[in-house]
A and B are shown apart, each in its own frame.
Chain A
Amino acid sequence: MIKNIYNLGDAALYCDFGERVDKDTNLKVINYFNDIREKKITGIKNIAPSYNKLIIYFDLELTNYKKIKDTVENLDISTFDETKTKLVMIPVCFDDEFALDLERVEKRVGLGKKEIVNQLISQKYFCYMTGFIAGMPFLGDIKEKIRLDRLETPRVKVPKGSVGITEQFCNIYTFESPGGWNIIGNSPKKIFTKDQTKLTLIDPGDEVEFFEISKKEYSKFNE
Chain B
Amino acid sequence: MSKNSFKVLRPGINTTFQDLGRDNLYHVGLPFSGAIDKRNFLIANSLITNKDDDAVLEFAYQGPLLEFSGSQTSIVITGNVNFKIIKKDTSEIKGECYRTYNLNNKDCLDIISTEKSVYGYLSVKGGFQINKFCNSYSTTVRAEVGPNDGKKIEIGQTIILNTVNSAIEKSLEYLNSKIEFIRVIKGTNFDYFSEDSIKDFTSKDFIVSKLTDRMGMRLSGPKIKNLKKTNIKSEGLGKGVIQVPADGDPIVMLSDHGTIGGYPKIAVVISADYDKLAQCPPGEKIKFKIVNLTEAENLYKIYTMETKNIINKIR
Which of A's residues lie within 8 Å of B, judged by CB?
A: 6-12, 14, 21, 33, 37, 45-55, 57, 60-61, 64-65, 129-136, 138, 174-175, 177, 192, 194, 196, 199-200, 204
Say whether A46 contacts B23, CB under 8 Å.
yes
Query: B259 — nearest CB in chain A belongs to which residue?
Result: A131
Contact of B142 among A6, A33, A133 (CB under 8 A): A133
Q: Which residues of B contact A138 (CB under 8 A)?
A: 234, 260
Smallest CB separation, B150 vs chain A (Å) = 8
B70 at the binding interface (Cβ < 8 Å): no
Q: Which residues of B contact A53 (CB under 8 A)?
A: 233, 235-236
Smallest CB separation, B26 vs chain A (Å) = 4
Say whether B29 contacts A130, CB under 8 Å.
yes
Q: Given A64-B297, A135-B28, A135-B29, is A175 in contact with B143 using a C-beta cutoff of 8 Å?
A: yes
Q: Which residues of B contact A21 (CB under 8 A)?
A: 233
Task: List residues of B (20-44) whose CB comes within 8 Å of A's CBs.
Answer: 23-30, 32
Say whether A8 contacts B265, CB under 8 Å.
yes
B47 at the binding interface (Cβ < 8 Å): no
Task: List residues of B (209-258) whose CB comes within 8 Å of A's CBs.
Answer: 233-238, 240-241, 258
Query: B234 — nearest CB in chain A belongs to which residue?
Result: A50
Say whether B304 contacts A9, CB under 8 Å.
no
In Å, the complex CA distance between A21 and B234 comes to 10
Q: Which residues of A contact B153 (CB under 8 A)?
A: none
B124 at the binding interface (Cβ < 8 Å): no
In Å, the complex CA distance between A55 and B236 comes to 6
Can you list 29 residue pairs at the A/B interface with Cβ under 8 Å? Answer: A8-B188, A8-B241, A9-B296, A10-B297, A11-B238, A12-B238, A37-B24, A45-B23, A46-B23, A47-B26, A48-B238, A48-B260, A50-B260, A52-B235, A53-B236, A57-B26, A60-B300, A65-B297, A130-B27, A132-B258, A132-B261, A134-B30, A134-B143, A134-B145, A135-B28, A136-B29, A174-B29, A177-B258, A199-B134
Smallest CB separation, A172 vs chain B (Å) = 12
Q: Given A10-B300, A51-B234, is A132 in contact with B24 using a C-beta cutoff of 8 Å?
A: no
Contact of A194 among B144, B261, B304 (CB under 8 A): B144
B310 at the binding interface (Cβ < 8 Å): no
Q: Which residues of A contact B241 (CB under 8 A)?
A: 8-9
B75 at the binding interface (Cβ < 8 Å): no
Which of B's residues lie within 8 Å of A, judged by CB?
A: 23-30, 32, 133-134, 140, 142-145, 185, 187-188, 233-238, 240-241, 258-261, 265, 268-271, 293, 296-297, 300, 304
Say whether A33 contacts B27, CB under 8 Å.
yes
Say whether B134 contacts A49, CB under 8 Å.
no
Smallest CB separation, A67 vs chain B (Å) = 11
Say whether B25 contacts A61, CB under 8 Å.
no
The 6 tightest CB contacts between A and B, nearest first, are: A48-B236, A9-B268, A134-B143, A55-B236, A131-B29, A10-B296
Q: Which residues of B contact A133 (CB under 8 A)?
A: 29, 142-143, 258
Q: Which residues of A contact B24 (CB under 8 A)?
A: 37, 45-47
Contact of B27 among A9, A47, A177 (CB under 8 A): A47
In Å, the complex CA distance between A7 and B238 comes to 12
Query: A137 — nearest CB in chain B belongs to which residue?
Result: B29
Smallest CB separation, A109 vs chain B (Å) = 20
Say whether A60 contacts B297, CB under 8 Å.
yes
Smallest CB separation, A31 vs chain B (Å) = 13
In Å, the complex CA distance between A193 and B74 comes to 37
Say whether B32 contacts A46, CB under 8 Å.
yes
Say whether A199 contacts B269, CB under 8 Å.
no
Say whether A50 contacts B236, CB under 8 Å.
yes
In Å, the complex CA distance between A21 and B232 comes to 11
In Å, the complex CA distance between A12 and B30 comes to 17
Q: Given A57-B238, A175-B142, A196-B133, is A134 in contact with B28 using a C-beta cutoff of 8 Å?
A: yes
Smallest CB separation, B21 vs chain A (Å) = 9
